[in-house]
Structure 1
Amino acid sequence: MKTILVIDEGNNSDLLSRMREGGRTVHHVASDKDACSLIAVADAAVMAVKLERMTDCQASLAAMRRLPIFWYCTEQRLPQQMDWGFSLDGVIFPSMSSTDIQHMLQFGARVHQQRKRWTDEREQLLQRIEERKWIDQAKAVLCEIRGINEAEAYDFLRKQAMNDRKRIGEVAASIVKVYQLIHG
Structure 2
Amino acid sequence: MRSLLVIRVQPTIAASSDAIPLTPERLLGANGYHVQVAGSEAEAVKLARVAEASILHLSLADVEYWVNCLGKGKSDSPLLWWCAPDTASSSAESCEVETSFDGILTPSMTGPEIHWTLHFAARRYMERKQWEQERKQLQSRLEDRKWIDMAKAILSDLKQISEAEAYDLLRKKAMDERKRMVDVATAIVKAHQLLQS
- By the TM > 0.5 criterion, same fold? yes
- AA partner of residue 100 (structure 1): E
Residue deviations 1:60-107 (CA, integer Å, cap 9, x gap): 334543421111122265549821432211111111123221211111
CA shift for structure 1 position 22: 6.2
Percent of pairs with identical residues = 37
Q: 2:193 corresponds to which residue?
A: 180
Structure 2 CA distance for partners of 1:35 and 1:164, relative to 1, 3 Å: farther
Q: Provide the aligned C-alpha RMSD in A.
A: 2.6
Q: Is 1:120–2:129 an aligned residue pair?
A: no
The superposition leaves residues 9-36 of structure 1 with CA deviations (integer Å, 9 ceiling, x where unpaired) of 3357752244346654433211344211
Give the total of aligned pairs.
Answer: 184
2:27 and 2:107 in contact (8 A); partners too: no
Preserved contact between residue 102 and residue 125 of structure 2 (Cα < 8 Å): yes
Which amino acid counterpart does residue 166 of structure 1 have in structure 2?
K
Paired with 1:31 and 1:99, the residues of 2 have a C-alpha distance of 31
Counterpart AA for 1:111: R
1:87 aligns with 2:100: yes
How far apart, CA to CA, are the structure 1 residues paired with 2:60 and 2:157? 59
Query: What is aligned with 2:166?
Result: 153
Q: How does 1:163-174 map to 2 (within 5 A)?
A: 163-174=176-187
Which 5+ residue runs of structure 2 have no aligned equivalent?
13-20
Q: 2:8·2:58 contact (CA, 8 Å) conserved in 1?
A: yes
Residue of structure 2 equivalent to 1:75: 85
Unaligned runs of 5+ in 1: none
SS in 1 for 2:171: helix
Alignment of 1:100-115 (within 5 A): 100-115=113-128
Partners of 1:25 and 1:166 in 2: how far apart? 52
Q: 2:49 aligns with which of 26, 37, 40?
A: 40
